[in-house]
Amino acid sequence: MPQGQQPSIPSVWTRPRPRREHLTRERIVAEAVGLLDADGIEALSMRTLGTRLGAGATSLYRHVANRDELIELVVDEVYGELEIPSVQDPADWRPAVADAAAALRAMVLRHPWIASVLSQVGLSHLGPNVMRMSDRMLALFETAGFPPEETDSAMSTVVSYVIGVATNEAAYLSMIARSGGTESDWLRALSPAVEAATRTHPHLHAAHVAQHGKAPGAVRDETFDYGLQRLLDGLAARLDQLGRTDDHDPRLDVPCRHE
């Protein structure tokens, strides 16, 4: 590399956009999201997308260098669906974070293909919608009372939980969708096998019996919320600890006097 030249970073967010053209980046991304929602990540290619847009792959390459950059764009596009609440009262931080977490989970379930690409998206954190979401969530934790050096860790903990649960959920629901049946039908057909398999495992059997008669979507909602609330319990405990530390007045410390 010539002296003084900056290294090239392969990301759509680090290159200038082409000037006025009939085929816009917005059109490309909207069509790509529609293709992904309909047919999944395996169907996404520059050639297929170009055909859907009535354009050659060469035209697409004027806007995105490759499929990886296209994935960066579609990920940021769906993050734009999120509405992160803002709060002024520190006491309101917990329900606001819970609402943001529920919105993120719902977004992943609306676009189940995203679960398979999040680990391979390059500089997705530079996307404008991802940055907006992150900034607003950080503001929630700042309002709650977390110090600046902890807001990012608090946010990352919540986001990691949501993405982890929703990724497994999306894979499960995608498998059922490919079978052509509903979740209720699938669980009903599987129930006799689960019943037989858990008979010699009393704890598993009790958990299986406890779910009888419940709507599967409601069970998934309850499971997600249980984990989220326990995580928020931990963050609330940390806030209490920080409050106790802040209330401590070092001037009241009296050194021990040894006789």
Name the phi and psi angles at 257, rounded to 5. -105, 120
What does the pLDDT look like over 19-43, one tens digit per residue?
555 788 899 999 999 999 999 889 9
| Domain assignments of the chain as residue spans, ordered by start | 12-78, 80-180+214-244
Does the pLDDT at position 175 exceed 90? no
Integer-rounded Cα radius of gyration of the chain: 24
* Fold agreement between 12-78 and 80-180+214-244: no
Higher-pLDDT residue of 212 and 29 is 29
Average pLDDT, the chain: 86
Q: What is the 3-state secondary structure (H, E, C) of the chain?
A: CCCCCCCCCCCHHHCCCCCCCCCCHHHHHHHHHHHHHHHCHHHCCHHHHHHHHCCCHHHHHCCCCCHHHHHHHHHHHHHCCCCCCCCCCHHHHHHHHHHHHHHHHHHHHHCHHHHHCHHHCCCHHHCHHHHHHHHHHHHHHHHHCCCHHHHHHHHHHHHHHHHHHHHHHHHHHHHHHHHCCCHHHHHHHHHHHHHHHHCCCHHHHHHHHHCCCCCHHHHHHHHHHHHHHHHHHHHHHHHHHHHHHHHCCHHHCCCCCCC
Average pLDDT over residues 185-195: 89
User: Rounded to whole angstroms, how far apart are CA atoms 82 and 143?
Assistant: 20
Average pLDDT over residues 196-200: 91
Average pLDDT over residues 42-66: 86
- C-alpha distances (whole Å) from 43 to each of 51, 67, 74, 162 are 12, 12, 14, 26
pLDDT of residue 67: 87
Average pLDDT over residues 46-69: 85
Class of domain 12-78: mainly alpha
Q: Is 66 helix (H, G, I), strand (E, B) or coil?
A: coil
For the chain, the maximum distance between any two Cα atoms, rounded to a whole number of angstroms, is 91
Q: How confident is the model at residue 7 (pLDDT cuts 50, 70, 90)?
A: low
Question: What is 80-180+214-244's CATH number, 1.10.1380.10, 3.90.550.10, 1.10.357.10, 3.50.50.100?
Answer: 1.10.357.10
What does the pLDDT look like over 217-252, one tens digit per residue?
999 999 999 999 999 999 999 999 998 766 544 444
Best-predicted range by mean pLDDT among 2-6, 110-114, 142-146? Answer: 142-146
